[in-house]
Chains A and B, each alone.
Chain A
Amino acid sequence: MANAFVAAFEILSFGAIIVLIVLGLGIIASMMGIFNFAQGEFVLLGAYITYLAYSHGLPIWAGMVAAPFLVGALGFALEGLIIRRFYAAPIVAMLGTYALGLIIRESVRGLIGGFYLTVPEPIGGSIDLGTVHISTWRFIIIVITLLVMGACYLLLSRTSFGLRVRATLENPALARASGISTPLIYGATFAFGAALAGLAGALIVPVFSLFADLGIRFLIQGFVAVMVGGVGSFIGPVAGAGVIGTLSAALPWIIAPVVADVLVFVLAIAFIKFRPQGLIAGKGV
């Protein structure tokens, strides 16, 4: 019983990490029709900023707060300078963002080398629940993920910014005609997606350590989750991430980890093949 509870908690916290990482990816893919291959590197940057704050003697949480803002600002700049030119063709956007990601990843690798750098948990220890102990930090990740999901939902459905974003998604030409500055909306959406990745990186770095391939490790999982969930809505990618995250955390408890890894991908691709619109049908790209 206790073991089952610990397993469930592990699975849930891993699912939360995937959701956190995929949230930004999904928002960019759904709202802008771009599969951002640099998203993993935004996660990496978020983690790196947190590490820098820590290694310079600042409180860790200061780095964690700064990460989403700094990465978001970088995202805004990159959108205006480069990403904007890729909107016409999704494949070109994929390759272009891949190149961007390569530049960021290799630059970080140049700075940190091939090491695994560790950052302690800002709130360490464990929560005792009778006979079982669960990691406090992992619990906090779950809570923050839920809060961020709620905030994103409210932002997109209840604010005038959200209304403009949704209008731009539905019909860019009409949105422009109604006086919405669509380039600004695209820039803001991309920056927001990047900021979420930065936050994800900041939160997970105590769990996974910092290494150059930190972002890319989750990227393919993220893409698959977005496709499984369905592009074109907010809730789709989140649902997809929930399913993929839970499956990839749960299966290794049942079957050999290697087989589990491969099985998740095979199942996901087969699912997308037979239901291209995903779990929750959105507008699609």
Chain B
Amino acid sequence: MLKSMSVVREAIDADVGDEPDGAMAESEARQAASGRKVLPIVEGLVLLAALIAPFVLQDYLTVFATRVIILALFALSFDLVWGYAGIMSFGQALFFGSAGYGVALLARDLDITNIFLVLPAGTIIGLTFALLLGGFLLLGRHPSSVIFVALGTLTGSYAADRLARGWYYLGGQNGIPSISPMTLGSYEFSEGPVFYYLTLGILVVAYLLCRFLVRSQFGLALAGLRENEQRIAFFGYKAQHLKAIVFAVGGTIAGLAGSLYAFHEGFVWPNMVGVVVSTQVVLYVLFGGSGTLIGAVIGTVIIEGVSFWLSDNYRDIWPIILGVLLLLVILFRPLGLISFVLGERERVGSFGAKLKEKRNAAS
């Protein structure tokens, strides 16, 4: 797999250079002029805000913020799959929800709530489902069309929703209520600052792992895959395998998020595996900005925050506003809100030290 790095890099450079966008060229120029990178600043600010949040927020808002962080972790998994590998996983909730159901059953039927057992269990459930579905949809003799994968994942999630609704063992329409809290020895994780910092810590670790992954040789190949799959395949990369791997990683993170969600909310219900939550995560990532990781987090915070804020007065029209916003983003800002501050060059990323040296030598 580790071959012709420079060729791939040039291919990506060429593709990025192909379509200069007015606004992006501008922000890139601004960046170049200041000689500073924007991404670490944005990430730092978000982390800072997240760290101090419980001190400034009221208790019930800390509980809400915990939920947002869990959803951000879930959004991260979708961004990895869609933003970096160009796989439209329209059924990402399948991994989120099945892990949630899995840990709920562990807690209900086997009385297992130990954090060191349930979180890995949820993660493994997510991974297993992602391997099965991803392997089926993405691998094979013929490369799958992007529409097929989108509809295949959507259908998978929809079928899981129907199954959960109709299966008495899984609680049917009502799902599984009052799941016992997650435990560590005799300590019980209930809603509040401790659970908040636990999820924040998990999000930061997952974020750093994803960041490392997408800035590695693997991520370089993924970026190439997203920009021009045929060219990457032509260089000898097994594009399908790369896709299946990143799909599995995405499913793993979604599984982790799903198990945290189940314990935080204390119940799971069919929507959690279905189309509703699947499309919700697409909204977060598109809105914030796909292919940036931090965009997924920002999108989740903004959409969930605004819908929480509006939920009392404008509950009915909020989904309409959301649809209009989404349409506007797709039409005018396909790279999401983050593209107002982040240039195309930095979004794709620069890989390795060599590139910088070559640039400096050239200029």
- Which among A94, A98, A261 is the interface contact of B162 at CB below 8 angstroms? A261
On whether the beta carbons of B145 and A82 are closer than 8 Å, the reply is: no
Distance in Å: Cβ of A27 to nearest Cβ of chain B: 17
A90 to B88, CA, bound (A): 11
- Which among A100, A223, A268 is the interface contact of B323 at CB below 8 angstroms? A100
With A107-B320, A110-B317, A265-B159 in contact, is A227–B136 under 8 Å at CB?
no
Binds A, one of B30-38, B116-124, B149-157, B351-359: B149-157
Within 8 A of A (CB), among B175-198: none
On whether the beta carbons of A103 and B147 are closer than 8 Å, the reply is: no
Interface of A is mostly: helix
Closest 5 CB pairs of A and B: A258-B166, A102-B323, A103-B323, A106-B319, A99-B327
- Which among B152, B166, B316, B319 is the interface contact of A269 at CB below 8 angstroms? B152
Distance in Å: Cβ of A259 to nearest Cβ of chain B: 8
On whether the beta carbons of A106 and B323 are closer than 8 Å, the reply is: yes
Beyond contacts A220-B154, A265-B159: 20 other A-B pairs, Cβ-Cβ < 8 A, are: A90-B146, A91-B150, A92-B330, A99-B330, A102-B323, A103-B324, A110-B316, A110-B320, A220-B155, A220-B275, A224-B151, A257-B166, A258-B165, A258-B166, A261-B162, A265-B156, A272-B148, A272-B152, A273-B137, A273-B148
Asked if A276 is at the interface (CB within 8 A of a chain B CB), the reply is yes
Residue pairs across A and B with Cβ atoms less than 8 A apart, 17 shown, are A90-B146, A91-B146, A94-B150, A95-B282, A96-B327, A102-B320, A102-B326, A107-B320, A220-B155, A227-B148, A258-B166, A261-B162, A262-B159, A262-B163, A269-B152, A273-B148, A276-B144
Asked if A85 is at the interface (CB within 8 A of a chain B CB), the reply is yes
Within 8 A of A (CB), among B312-326: 316-317, 319-320, 322-324, 326
With A91-B88, A94-B88, A272-B148 in contact, is A261–B136 under 8 Å at CB?
no
Asked if B167 is at the interface (CB within 8 A of a chain A CB), the reply is yes
Distance in Å: Cβ of B87 to nearest Cβ of chain A: 10
With A261-B159, A262-B159, A262-B163 in contact, is A223–B151 under 8 Å at CB?
yes
**Size of A's binding interface in residues, CB under 8 A:** 36
Asked if B286 is at the interface (CB within 8 A of a chain A CB), the reply is yes
A-contact bits for B239-280, CB 8 A (1 contact / 0 none): 000000000000000000000000000000000000100010
